[in-house]
Amino acid sequence: MTPELRAADRRSLVDTVVEQLRTQLAERAWRVGDRIPTEHELAERLSVGRNTVREAVRVLVHAGLLESRQGQGTFVRSTADPAAVLRGMKQANVRDVLELRIALETEAARLAATRRTADDLRRMRAGLRALHQHGPQPEGAIQADDDVDFHLAVVAAAHNTALSEVYGYFSSSVREALVASLGQDGMPPIDLETHTALVDAIESGDPQTAETAARNLLMSPMRAVEALITHDTEAQR
């Protein structure tokens, strides 16, 4: 059964068509592998020009939801919208986000202990040197980018493409959530000792030791978040 589409609002035609199609995909109006209606059919249903439909489809192809096949049409590649995931992430509270970070990084460290290469170790050691150059300043300070690079190097050493993609997509949201909740001045200092211990644990080749070291590293921001939640709860009483 062909899904019904509402006429597009003319204020932002491409964006409106994109959202209409995202909704249809999310509601499983078309299944993965289905060919969606032609540009001409969509343009008629939405009362827009074919160029508008073409641009909207191009956006969704770039997002990985649709796939254009020369001479065959446009097909549904995925109904899982990364943009919707990101919107949901931004609505999550800071403790939820940090708990997910701990889950991802501890698993990455565990895998890295048995999969890391000499190049991986060199990259992590280079990350440590960059952090040491700045000293133990707050996480929101000048070396924030260096710290992100360090953690990305740890995750990359797990050699799990899916894990690296998810973490790379997610990592910027972590710092945004922490800064939004704690403020720049409230960000805990980057603990150089725990960072070094994590690299040492990964180099040792012991998965359990590496997992524990990753968890210990992330305890400082978690304690800061827990203290903030406790303070807010008591203030509301």
Tell me the per-residue pLDDT of 2-14, one tens digit each, with 9 for 90 and over.
555 554 444 478 8
Radius of gyration of the chain (CA): 23
Distance between CA 110 and CA 123 in Å, rounded? Answer: 17
Which whole number is the average pLDDT over 20-26?
88
Say whether 84-235 and 10-79 share the same fold. no
Confidence of residue 141 (pLDDT cuts 50, 70, 90): very low
Tell me the per-residue pLDDT of 87-121, one tens digit each, with 9 for 90 and over.
666 566 778 888 888 999 999 999 999 999 999 99
At 224, list the tokens.
């800061």
**Fold exhibited by the domain 84-235:** Four Helix Bundle (Hemerythrin (Met), subunit A) (1.20.120)
Residue 138 pLDDT > 60: no
Domain residue spans of the chain:
10-79, 84-235
Q: pLDDT at position 39, please?
A: 92
Q: What percent of the chain has pLDDT over 90?
A: 39
CA 145 to chain centroid, in Å, comes to 16
Q: pLDDT at position 87, please?
A: 61
Distance between CA 138 and CA 220 in Å, rounded? Answer: 11
What's the pTM? 0.63
Q: pLDDT at position 27, please?
A: 85
Q: Mean of the per-residue pLDDT values for the chain? A: 83
Q: pLDDT at position 2, please?
A: 52
Which whole number is the average pLDDT over 232-237?
73
The CATH number corresponding to 10-79 among 1.10.10.10, 3.30.365.10, 3.40.1010.10, 3.40.50.1400 equals 1.10.10.10
Which residue shows structure tokens 């800061």?
A: 224
Exposure string for 158-172, b = 16+ CB within 10 A, e = fewer: bbbeebbeebeebbe
